[in-house]
Structure 1
Amino acid sequence: MDLTIAAILGLDGLTNGAIYALVALALVLVFSVTRVIFIPQGEFVAFGALTLAALQMGKVPGTVWLLLMMAIAAAVLDVVQGLRERRAMAKIAFGMVETLSFPIGMAVVMPMWAPSQPALWIQVLLTLAIVTAMGPLLYRLAYRALSGASVLTLLIVSVGVHFALTGVGLVFFGAEGYRTPAFWDARFDVGPLSLTGQTLIIFGASIALIVALFVFFERTLTGKALRATSVNRTGARLMGISGDAAGSQTFTMAAFIGALSGLLISPSTTIYYDTGFLIGLKGFVAAVFGGLASFPMALAGALGVGLIESFGSFWASAFKEVIVFTVILPVLLWRSFVDPHHEEH
């Protein structure tokens, strides 16, 4: 291997690492606030890519119908809970309207709008809106009632949600893979490296999102409330911060990050209904570097995973996945020594 090949592999590794960084940041965010090891994060990545692919083919994305089904189920749960708690009918009705208005609007508009194949930026915004709206609904359906459960229980639920979303993805999108066109077809030569426009978009979008998250948590009241919840859930609740609202906001952000990751990666690789699981696992490996608690360490871990995958595929392409996932073993061993152990009650 000479320096030219090493530079090319390094660029490829950093590009993949930028995607894994977004997934890892979402995993750390969800776990720190809700204690959920969010295995289905990868499904948001796949749904984002497949939704855009369907729109570019002039088809109604299956995520529109999935979003509607989730909204109806959440509305039914809210009505049952409202009647049980004897809330005012006006409040129950308002909650139903709030839950169902956007999904029903998408279900009505998309069959008329999708065949016309709107501009790319409109397709991107629609994709982000549809997949992001699934985040709080998923929290309502699968996690809100278990907010006080143990981490192990929440992990088991996450495994079940992953298999459910994977099966739904197969039903709505089929087993065929899709790849979307690049957002920017330009190419720039920098020495031995050839930078594509899509690579620059990936780096730019990843950096912009990381900066936006930093500003959000440091400068906004909602971000500080989420930070307080991640530090001490009981203390945050005593200060008037709703744990359910924090969980819903966290899942909304995770869904947005997943959808954005899917949009960024889909021009570079073919996405199938179950592709998100492998991407999510690599993001999880990166998040473990930070103990599922440190954003900077998760970012460093993601870049490391991308580089290991790139160079591993050069030396032993058949074993690149094995190499990546084997890296987690010494990291877990190191974490077991440096992190204190707390027995959960």
Structure 2
Amino acid sequence: MDLSIGILLFQDGLTNGAIYMLLALALVLVFSVTRVLFLPQGEFVVFGALGFTLLNKGQMPGTVWLLLVFGVLAAISDIGSAATGKRLTAARRTLVANLALPALLALLAWIAARNNAPPLVCALLAIALVIPLGPMIYRIAFMPVAQSSILTLLIVGVTVHFVLLGMSLFFFGPEGMRAQPLLNGDISFGEVVVSAQSLLVYAASAAVVAGLYYLFEHTVYGKALRATSVSRTGARLSGIRTHVAGKLAFGLAAAIGAVCGVLLVSLTTVYYDSGLAIGMRGFIGAVVGALVSFPGAAVGALMVGVIEAFTAFFYSSLKDAALFLLIIPVLLYLSLGSGAGTVVSEEES
């Protein structure tokens, strides 16, 4: 391997690592706020990728039907709770959020598909179709068991993954899809040639990270998320509605996943079942950050991308094994540094 091949591999790894970084940040965000190890994070990537591809081809994406189904289920759950507490205002609000908004997005998707909307419009609409799925999934699957143990929440997450996997196969079909790059051409930096699509990935990743920083540091909602991540009980005593924080965290995770899908589908073929493999890359990065450190997760995910690129070049059959081996030293370090072998719950701490 000469220097030019090494540079190409590093560039490819950095591009994939930037996408994995966003997934790792989303996983850390969701776990910090809700204690959910959200393994189906990769499904949001698939929904965004396949939805964008179909819209770009002038077809109605399966994301529309997914959104309508989950909207109805979330509305039924909210209306039942509101009726029990006789909260008519909450019932009206959920009708708007879970029924009117999905219907409006479905109409916009139909218009975009019929009129062959530009790729940028298709990308934004594909992301918009995925974002409401996050709060809906939290409301249906996780909010009723929000006070359960981490193991119970993990089991629910695995169940949600298989449900979304089956629905993805039903609404999108088994064929893989790949979209044209949003930006074409190459840009030279001396001897290094970088594709415009890769630069778009870097720019989008940096924009998402900057947006999350601004959210956490300068907005009330971001501070509410931070307070909930420190102590759910303390947040409730401070007047913060933790279920709203959970919905917001899942909404942000869905948005990040959809952005990753739009960026990734121009680089590789995405199938209905690609979500778990993609999401596990972000999960490994999040584990490097101990599921609590955003900088650690970002660095870990970038490492995953680079290691994956070089391992695939030299030993493609050991690519996945090499990635998961990264978890072992991290877990050993965390276990030795904790000083205790027991897990302390929030109520005991």
Length-normalised TM-score, structure 1: 0.96
**Residue 5 in structure 1 maps to residue 5 in structure 2:** yes
SS at match of 1:110: helix
1:26 is aligned to 2:46: no
Task: Write the distance in 1 (CA, Å) between the matches of 2:8 and 2:333.
Answer: 31
- Counterpart for residue 73 of structure 1: 73
- Give the aligned partner of residue 343 of structure 2: 342
Please list the CA deviations of residues 216-266 of structure 1 after superposition, one character each: whole Å capped at 9, or x if unmatched. 111111111100110111111100001000000000000000000001111
Shift of 1:112: 4.4
Q: Which residue identity does 1:7 align to in structure 2?
A: I
Please give the secondary structure, in 2, of the residue aligned with 1:195.
Answer: strand
| Residue matched to 1:161 | 160
- Counterpart mapping for 1:164-175 below 5 A: 164-175=163-174
Maintained 8 Å contact 2:34/2:229: yes
1:176-215 paired onto structure 2 within 5 Å: 176-215=175-214
Q: Which moved more, 1:79-88 or 1:328-337?
A: 79-88
Q: Match of 1:307?
A: 306
CA apart distance, 1:91: 4.4
Native 8 Å contact 2:176 2:272 kept in 1: yes
Tell me what 2:149 maps to: 150
Distance in 1, matches of 2:111 and 2:170, equals: 22
Superposition map of 1:48-197 within 5 A: 48-88=48-88, 91-197=90-196
Deviation at 1:106, TM superposition (A): 2.8
Aligned residue number for residue 281 of structure 1: 280
- One-letter identity of the residue aligned with 2:71: A
Aligned mates of 2:297, 2:272 — CA distance in 1: 26
Once residues 104 and 244 of structure 1 are traced to their aligned partners in structure 2, the CA distance between those partners, rounded to angstroms, is: 24
**Match for residue 270 of structure 1?**
269
Cα deviation, residue 211, structure 1: 1.3
1:284-299, aligned counterparts within 5 Å? 284-299=283-298
Cα distance in 1 for residues equivalent to 2:271 and 2:47: 9
Distance 1:260 1:91, change over 3 A: closer
Aligned length: 344
What code does the residue aligned with 2:23 have?
V
Query: Which residue of structure 1 lines up, in the alignment, with residue 231 of structure 2?
Result: 232
Q: Give distance in 2, aligned partners of 1:203 and 1:109.
A: 29
Poorly superposed stretches of 4+, deviation over 3 Å: 107-113
TM superposition shift of 1:339:
3.0
% identical aligned pairs: 47
Q: Which one-letter code corresponds to 1:71 in the other structure?
A: G
**C-alpha distance in 2 between matches for 1:20 and 1:107:** 29
Q: Residue type of the partner of 1:48?
A: G
2:50 and 2:172 in contact (8 A); partners too? yes
- 1:11 is displaced (CA, Å) by 1.1
Displacement after TM superposition at 1:315 (Å): 1.3
1:76-111 Cα shifts (integer Å, max 9, x gaps) = 1112112222334x5423432332111122334433
Q: Take 1:188 and 1:91, find their aligned partners in 2: how far apart are those partners?
A: 52
Q: Distance in 2 between matches of 1:91 and 1:233?
A: 23
Q: Which moved more, 1:285-294 or 1:315-324?
A: 315-324
Counterpart residue identity of residue 248, structure 2: Q
Q: Matches of 2:141 and 2:319 in 1, distance apart?
A: 34
Aligned to 2:16: 16
Structure 2 counterpart of 1:24, one-letter code: A
The Cα of 1:3 is off from its aligned counterpart by 2.3
Q: CA–CA distance in 2 between the matches of 1:54 and 1:273?
A: 13
Instruction: After TM superposition, list the pairs within 5 Å mapping 1:40-51 onto structure 2.
Output: 40-51=40-51
Gaps of 5+ in 2: none
332-341 or 142-151, which moves further after superposition? Answer: 332-341
Does the residue aligned with 2:243 lie in a helix, a strand or coil?
Answer: helix
Q: Distance in 1 between matches of 2:23 and 2:108?
A: 31
- Unaligned 5+ residue runs, structure 1? none
- Secondary structure of the residue aligned to 2:132 is helix
Please give the secondary structure, in 2, of the residue aligned with 1:194.
strand
Name the SS of the counterpart of 1:241 in structure 2. Answer: coil
Superimposed CA distance per residue, residues 181-212 of structure 1 (whole angstroms, 9 cap, x where no aligned partner): 00111202334432000000000111111111
2:23 and 2:41 in contact (8 A); partners too:
yes
CA separation in 2, counterparts of 1:94 and 1:226? 22
How many Å separate the matches in 1 of 2:142 and 2:286? Answer: 21
| 1: CA distance, partners of 2:93 / 2:224 | 25
Matching residue's letter, 1:32:
S
Q: Deviations over 1:290-327 (max 9, x none)?
A: 11000000001011111110111121012211111122
TM-score by length of 2: 0.95
Residues 18 and 302 in structure 2, CA contact (< 8 A), matched pair in contact too: yes
